[in-house]
Chains A and B, each alone.
Chain A
């Protein structure tokens, strides 16, 4: 299933959810040509924000990705408060909700390293290119080597453009 980035980002931003786009989608925002099949976001772990997040996603059937159907999964504030990271399927596509990321921390720590984007008519935050390289290198996953190489090449190409 494809990700409806327009709908997901508009939905979350429109609902006032405090989130930062990270991962492959952030790489796309910065100019990556690599395919990513989900939207990764770091969300702020305050009760009010969790409540906004839960209410925004509730109509779109969030469910643990890859889990067998019929699990007693309840999408509510309590579930999100008791957990940290959620890899979900939704009617709008795959969505990863992250409380924090390796090498970057949580929302408040990533905020100073984030860029403000005007995207699909809404304002949202995206992890900055340099910090994206940092967190991917900190994660140290071999599967990220190609992605890191591309991100560093983007940094170099941007420098050439001035």
Chain B
């Protein structure tokens, strides 16, 4: 065991993380927990494709704006 891993053996509740946790959308987590691991990865790939499409559309829109 390295020093780094030994240092992390015990973590108590972190107030910063607890504050972030209040905003976690647990409905998405519950939906994901109903899926198989493979289905979760397939959903991630669809999300990546959607993000790439949004990025492309955003770049096209800013190019159009600059041309005006």
Give the interface SS of chain B, mostly helix, strand, loop or mixed. Answer: helix
Q: Mark each residue of chain B from 7 to 42: 1 if its CB lies under 8 Å from any CB of chain A, else 0.
A: 111010010111011011110111111010110110
Number of interface residues of A (CB under 8 A): 42
Q: Nearest Cβ distance between residue A117 and chain B, in whole angstroms?
A: 6
Number of interface residues of B (CB under 8 A): 36
- B5 is an interface residue with CB less than 8 A from chain A: yes
Beyond A28-B40, A31-B40, A153-B24, is A138–B4 a contact (Cβ under 8 Å)? yes
Starting from the known contacts A100-B2, A137-B11, 16 additional A-B residue pairs (CB-CB under 8 Å) come to: A5-B45, A25-B41, A29-B37, A33-B31, A35-B48, A35-B51, A37-B48, A100-B4, A102-B4, A103-B7, A104-B8, A106-B2, A145-B16, A145-B20, A150-B24, A157-B33
Would you list the 9 A-B pairs with minimal beta carbon distance, nearest first? A149-B20, A33-B28, A138-B8, A2-B48, A31-B32, A103-B8, A149-B21, A153-B24, A105-B2
